[in-house]
Chains A and B, each alone.
Chain A
Amino acid sequence: MTKEQPTYTQAVLRLETIVSTLERGGMGLDETLKLYEEGAALLTICKAELSTAEGKLNELQLNTIEAALESDAQ
């Protein structure tokens, strides 16, 4: 079963939980390493998410974009 990639919000929420758990302390080496690995993976996802939102600016008049969509559809 492949796990679906979490959304930015989900990833950040989980990341916050992980950080709080680590800060609370008291867990074993195994769990610490597991949590750290998971947190690092989530950080990568979040950072990637921040970079994908950048893109092009399209500024079109209504008629132009309607025509473009119509020609796309044909």
Chain B
Amino acid sequence: MNTLVVKARVFKNCGHLFRLMTGNGHVTTGATPIGQFVQLVKRTVAHDPLFTNQALKGEVTQWKQYASGHTYFSLRDEDGQMSAVIWKGKCFIDPNIKEGTEVVVLATLDVYVKRGNIQLVVQRIEPVNLLGELEKTKRKLLESLRREGELDRQRHPVPFVPQHIAIVTGAGSAALADMHRLIENRWPGLRRTVIGVLVQGQRAPEEIVRALAVTRMLADPNIAEQRGQPPVDLVIVGRGGGAPEDLWAFNLEPVARAILASPVPVVSAVGHESDVLVSDLVADVRASTPSDAIERVVPSLNELQFFLDELEERMTVASRRQLTDCQQRLAVLQSRLRVAPLAGINRARTELMSLGSRMERSARQLFNIQSTRLARYESSLAAVHPQRVLERGYSMTQDAKGTVLTSIEGLQTGQDIFLHFADGTADATVVKTKQMRRNDD
């Protein structure tokens, strides 16, 4: 289609030239030298944005790389073709490009005046199957990293408050501006060193690797001391989002190895949504964007200060309550101590009273038992009282000394004796004694 547009434009301009030449009838004398004409064509196409920086797709034919460093080829498809040139060193040429390779070029139309040829001057060329190739390489790299155990390695813990962050990203990029803005929101004046690198294109991997080497040096306590800064304790490497091939540096082995070699935690902060990059898998922290990286690793100073204030407040309140508790416990003890002796006396008194009443009760019981027993004895005694015997007709004899006489032995004739009856006494004199023979004698 571009070829057709080119043709239309050239014919239109040629028509204009023809009118200039034939307008006054001096066709032969006024004829323009062909060289001038071709120059005019060249100038015309060179200034037309339609022919500048066009992305064109086609198949490579007549691929020739000259010793001069220039490369010539034709770009063709079924409908047309055009010569193309890549000037020496103008762009990286993938070594896989050869005859028949499908490529996309970024090119500007030019006219080779000497031969009047229209040709494409190529600023960038990439095989269409590049991404496929890259994917294969990426898979291989991931496999070998997995075999080496690098994907399951112990990650460096991220410092709670980074003292010095190194940021490896595109200098002056929107991603960097976002990071600065977020850092200033979260932790105004947080110490950071930004190392500006190319984050896409052929030189990007090498620059990222070199920048990571610089961060390793900045993380060295000795070097940091020499520079009068705290050592770098966190590295963020990343860029904003882009087409998969633009992010490819972060899928390359040298970059992955440089991340793995870091003595301090590395955050992979490449803006992308779908595909996981190798840098994401080897880094200590994976962030989805550079802003996300900041939110993950830079705490909010306000939040922390608020948190500390809160802790301080809680500690003061709790301590004060503890002290009050201690005082209250002391006061309780004091009052208990004051009443303790009284309580002791009261208890003793109560005990004494209870003992007294118990004693009284048991004494009374004992007395009652004794009284009953005495009464019984009394009635028994009453039954055998001598008076009862005397009342039945017996009498009791006593001598003058009052001794009760139970035998006649020792009784003298003429001895005074006293006979006691139930109702009185009779004085008597022994007239005669007569001993009774006893049955057992």
Q: Does A4 contact B (CB under 8 A)?
A: no
Judge if B404 is at the interface, Cβ distance under 8 Å.
no
Does any Cβ of A come within 8 Å of B321's Cβ? Answer: yes
How many Å from the CB of A8 to the closest CB on chain B?
A: 5
Closest residue of chain B to A27 (Cβ to Cβ) is B322
B301 at the interface (CB under 8 A from A): yes
In contact, B211 and A35 (Cβ under 8 angstroms): no
Q: Which residue of A lies closest to B194 (CB)?
A: A59
Q: Is B326 within 8 A of A32, CB to CB? A: yes
Is chain A's interface secondary structure helix, strand, loop, or mixed overall? helix
Q: Looking at the assembled complex, report how far the CB atom of A37 sits from the nearest CB atom of chain B, in whole angstroms.
A: 10
User: B-facing mask of A23-42, CB < 8 A → 1, else 0?
Assistant: 10101110010011001100
Across-interface contacts of A35 in B (CB, < 8 A): 319
Decide yes or no whether B103 CB sits under 8 A from chain A.
no
CB distance from B232 to the nearest CB of A (A): 11
Interface centre among B171, B187, B190, B318 (most CB of A within 10 A): B318
- Beyond A46-B308, A53-B161, is A58–B325 a contact (Cβ under 8 Å)? no
Chain B: interface size category: 35 or more
Contacts of B152-202 to chain A: CB distance below 8 A: 160-164, 171, 180, 187-197
A18, A36, A53, A61 — most chain B CB neighbours (10 Å) = A53
**Who on chain A is nearest to B323 by CB?**
A32
Least Cβ–Cβ distance between A69 and chain B, in angstroms: 5
B187 x A53 contact (CB < 8 A): yes
Number of interface residues of A (CB under 8 A): 39
Q: Is the CB of A65 within 8 A of B318?
A: no
Chain B residue, CB-CB nearest to A10: B160
Q: Which among A12, A32, A43, A62 is the interface contact of B319 at CB below 8 angstroms?
A: A32
Chain B: minimal CB distance from A55 (Å):
3
Q: Are A55 and B315 in contact (CB under 8 A)?
A: no
In the complex, B12 has a CB within 8 A of chain A:
no
Contact partners of B274 in chain A: CB under 8 A: none
Query: A27: shortest Cβ distance to chain B, in Å?
Result: 7
Q: Which residues of B pack against A, CB within 8 Å?
A: 160-164, 171, 180, 187-197, 207, 210-211, 214, 217-218, 223, 226-227, 229-230, 301, 304-305, 308, 311-312, 314-315, 318-319, 321-323, 325-326
What are 17 pairs between A and B in contact, CB < 8 Å? A8-B160, A9-B160, A12-B311, A23-B314, A25-B325, A27-B322, A32-B319, A50-B161, A52-B163, A53-B161, A55-B163, A56-B191, A56-B229, A57-B191, A59-B194, A62-B207, A66-B210
